[in-house]
Amino acid sequence: MKMNREHQRSINDISENDFVIEGKFGKRTTSSHTKKIQSSELTGSDGVKSRSSRAVVVCLPLLFVLLTAAKVLCVLIHSKSTNFTQERQQLLTKITNLTEERDQLLTNNMNLTEERDQLSTNNMNLTEERDQLKSEKSELQKFSAGVCQFFSLNGGWKCHQSSLYFISSEKKSWTDSRRYCTDRGADLIIINNREEQDFVKNIISFGDLVWIGLTDRDVEGRWKWVDGSDVTFRFWQPGEPNSFQGKEEDCAVTHSPGWVDYPCDYSSKWICEKSIFK
């Protein structure tokens, strides 16, 4: 009996101890499991933080690059926009200038057209005037021929161009010779060109001296024609005029070699000249 009680107590003690042990170890086990869970939880949180940190480290430079690229792109877009605006303004200015030039050219063209029309009208008028003058010239030539024929038959005058010439056969002083001419509506000849000088040379006899309407009576050395005009063509004989031997030679004669100054009271032939139309 005693052994059975002790055996029963031992079994109970073992059971209690097992309970205690189980409870203790259970508690420990539970506590350890909790710590593992907590440790696992802590370990997972740290991993997340570590991955997040690495992501931030990787993303920040990339974000910086993207921001820089965006800024550069904005600058380029702004620059391009500014350039396009300037080019547009330049094109508008060119268009305005070309438009003004076009308008100016159109105006010039209109003016030239008007001038052309005016010139055409003037040309027509001049053509009509030319034809009228030709007709008048023809009539004058006919009239001149009739006058020349009349004076040639009545007084021995000779025609040259639009003038009549009379060559004297007698001799007088320069003053008397001129008076003879003026009494007949003429005057001593005025020689204006080489052609007229050659004409006179051909109608006078070789060796004859004839008075012409040239004198320096008013101012010594200043030769003038009888109408008061200055000498434009000079056909003086070489060495003339010279007031030979200090004589007063204030009047001019002509002969084959050319003009010569002579004393005005010298007796010589003369040539009168008058216009056909006077």
pLDDT in tens, 231-242: 989 999 999 998
Which pLDDT does position 178 carry in this prediction? 98
Which pLDDT does position 45 carry in this prediction? 60
Q: With CA atoms as reference, report the closest residue to 175 among 226, 227, 106.
A: 226
71 vs 268, residue with greater confidence: 268
How many Cα atoms sit within 13 Å of 38 on the Cβ side? 6
Architecture field, domain 157-275: Roll (3.10)
Task: Give the pLDDT band of residue 44 (cuts 50, 70, 90).
Answer: low
Which pLDDT does position 43 carry in this prediction? 52
Helix (H) or strand (E) holding 232: none
Domain spans of the chain?
Answer: 157-275
Q: Is the dihedral of CA 207, 208, 209, 212 positive or negative?
A: negative
Is pLDDT above 60 for 7?
A: no
Beta pairing partners, 165: 158, 273
Percent of the chain residues past pLDDT 70, beyond the cut: 81
Is pLDDT above 70 for 1?
A: no
**Winning range, highest mean pLDDT, from 43-52, 124-133, 138-147, 244-253:** 124-133
Amino acid at 159: C
**Residues 253, 211 contacting (CB under 8 angstroms):** yes
Beta pairing partners, 167: 271
pLDDT in tens, 124-166: 999 999 999 999 888 877 777 788 888 777 778 999 888 999 9
